[in-house]
Amino acid sequence: MTITQLHYLIAVAEHQNFTLAAEKSFVTQPTLSMQIAKLEEELNVRLFDRGTKPIKLTAVGEKIVEQARRVVIEAERIKDIVSVEKGFVGGPYNLGIIPTVMPTLLPMFLATFIKKYPKVKLIIKEMTTEEIAVQLREGKLDGAIAATPLGFDDIVERPLYYEPFVAYIPEDHRLNAQSILKSEDLRLDEVLLLEDGHCFRDGVINLCGAPKQLDPSEFRIESGSFETLIKLSDENMGMTLLPYLHTLQLKEVQEQRLKHFEKPEPAREISLIYHKSELKLQITTALKEVISAVIRGAISFHDVKIISPKQRSRQV
């Protein structure tokens, strides 16, 4: 049994196709199939049911793939230990970022990080928190940037910054005359929301003190982007809430429609997260240091109340 065979096993399990798994593993299909057959012969079990399309793992195959993932991750730790001892910060690093953070944060730190750590090859992917959690556990991501707390025992959270919620209110809205808002001023039926699946949406719903299950009979507009929500609000279709960094991109006339909340301001916690196995920790630490440095001048780190998608809050 070799680490290479385990890599091939995991690839076939993920793609449910030998040809595609071989392509993703950069080997020929006969080579991959031969190595899987050798592994099955050594273990004296069938790992895949080849009679189905797509092919499926057998019951014992599912257990072996789960263990194979752990073995591959632990094998990678050996290289990681050597890199740490040598003080080397380099190599590929797969980073996931949630959609409501990526457009504003990435341009702020990417150029600085690349310049400071030219030997690191960042592979950046936009994905949901749910996708991030799965891929961290499977070893497909080395780290991620997401809204926390998540409450997963196997995922480490290192806070980067606290980003206040800011209200964007059209001129004829009932709250337009108020200089400072309170969370109890909000009515969920007046708030334009992101589509389901965005953690910022859940944070807004929690801030409004409403259940996640909204009344389907109510007229609602939901969108996948803040830009669309802003345009709808400009057309007096309702108010919306924005993360603070997104407000820095608004035009001067749009800035006049922003309303801040009383202190402690409702905010979301944005963290750099990674699996507790702590692979490539030297790159993770370098990312945290660079992001914290560039964000420090843009956002206050104090006197905020964290609004979590998991219905928890705390003051910082």
Structure tokens at 177: 């005359």
pLDDT tier at 292, thresholds 50, 70, 90: very high
Q: 3-83 and 163-266: same fold?
A: no
Out of 3.40.50.1860, 3.40.50.300, 1.20.1090.10, 1.10.10.10, which CATH number does the structure's domain 3-83 have? 1.10.10.10
pLDDT digits (tens, 9 = 90+) for 90-122: 889 999 999 999 999 999 999 999 999 999 999
- Domain chopping of the chain, boundaries: 3-83, 89-161+268-303, 163-266
Helix (H, G, I), strand (E, B) or coil at 213: coil
Q: Which amino acid makes up residue 99? A: P
pLDDT digits (tens, 9 = 90+) for 254-284: 898 999 999 888 899 999 999 988 788 899 9
Contacts of 177 (CB under 8 A, 6+ apart): none
Helix (H, G, I), strand (E, B) or coil at 147: strand
Contacts of 5 (CB under 8 A, 6+ apart): 35, 36, 38, 39
**Per-residue pLDDT for 311 more than 70?**
no
Quote the pLDDT of residue 299: 77
> Angle, to 10 degrees, between the axis of helix 29-43 and the axis of helix 18-25?
110
* Mean pLDDT computed over 62-87: 83
Quote the pLDDT of residue 223: 66
Q: For the ranges 37-41, 66-70, 108-112, which has the lowest average pLDDT?
A: 66-70
* Mean pLDDT computed over 112-135: 94
Q: Note the pTM of the prediction, 2 decimals.
A: 0.78
Question: Which of 126, 161, 131 lies closest to 270 in space, CA to CA?
Answer: 161
Structure tokens at 47: 């790992």
Residue 202 and residue 208: Cα distance in Å, rounded? Answer: 10
> How many Cα atoms are found within 13 Å in the side-chain-facing hemisphere of 66?
6
Residue 31 and residue 303: Cα distance in Å, rounded? Answer: 59
Question: Which of 285, 282, 286 lies closest to 87 in space, CA to CA?
Answer: 282
| Residue, of 197 and 29, whose pLDDT is higher | 29
pLDDT digits (tens, 9 = 90+) for 163-180: 999 999 988 888 888 888
Residue 108 and residue 291: Cα distance in Å, rounded? Answer: 8
Share of the chain residues as helix, strand and coil, in percent rounded to the nearest 5? 45, 25, 35
**Per-residue pLDDT for 47 more than 60?**
yes
What stretch of H or E contains 80? helix 59-86
Architecture of the CATH domain 163-266: 3-Layer(aba) Sandwich (3.40)
Quote the pLDDT of residue 210: 60
Architecture of the CATH domain 89-161+268-303: 3-Layer(aba) Sandwich (3.40)
